[in-house]
């Protein structure tokens, strides 16, 4: 998928922002923070995971998503988001 398609969605960028901030979260909680339903959230999470930006772990019925720390794309993204957030806070 091309970069413009991955980042064309506000929700996907929000997901990345949330995970940069808190590190690791389950699907329901991400959905709650986005203010959208579980299914939509999961679709976006799957897409981001498919692009290698996220990874997840399963604990029984619980799925915890986090940034894929092995991806250089993610590292670059993380830096971008952090700088962005810091500057807009000042």
Partner 1 sequence: MAQRVIITGDVGAGKTALSQRFGVDVTREAREHGIKLRYVHVNCREYRGSLFLILQHVVSTFHPNFPRRGYSAEELLRILVQILDEENTYVVLALDEFDSLIEKEGSEAVYKLTRLQELRQNKPQRLSLICILRNLKAIEQLDASTRSTLQSNIITLQNYTKQQLVDILNGRVSLAFKPIATSEDTIGLIAEVALSENGNARFGIELLWRAGKYADAESSETVTPECVRKAVSSIIPAMRKNELATLGFHEKLFLLAMARLFKQSQKAWVSLAEAEQTYTIVCEELNAKPNSHTQLWKYLHNLSALGVVKTEVSTTGSRGRSTLIYLPRIPALELEREMGILLEKGEA
- The answer to whether residue 38 forms part of the interface with partner 1 (CB under 8 A) is no
Stretch that binds partner 1, among 5-13, 17-25, 38-46, 74-82 (CB under 8 A): 17-25
CA distance 59 to 10: 28
Paired strand residues for 59: 62
CA distance 67 to 52: 9
Give the interface size with partner 1 as a residue count (CB under 8 A): 13
Q: Give me the least distance between CB of 28 and partner 1, in Å please.
A: 7
Site string for partner 1, 47-76 (x = CB under 8 A): ----------x-xxxx-x------------
Contact 33, 16 (CB under 8 A): no
């Amino acid at each position: 998928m091309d970069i413009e398609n991955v980042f064309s969605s506000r929700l996907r960028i929000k997901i990345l922002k949330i995970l940069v901030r808190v590190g690791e979260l389950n699907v329901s909680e991400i959905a709650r923070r986005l203010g959208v339903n579980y299914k939509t959230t999961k679709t976006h999470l799957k897409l981001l995971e498919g692009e290698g930006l996220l990874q997840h772990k399963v604990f029984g019925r619980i799925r915890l998503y986090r940034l894929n720390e092995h991806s250089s794309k993610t590292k670059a993204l993380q830096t971008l988001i952090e700088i962005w957030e810091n500057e807009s806070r000042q």
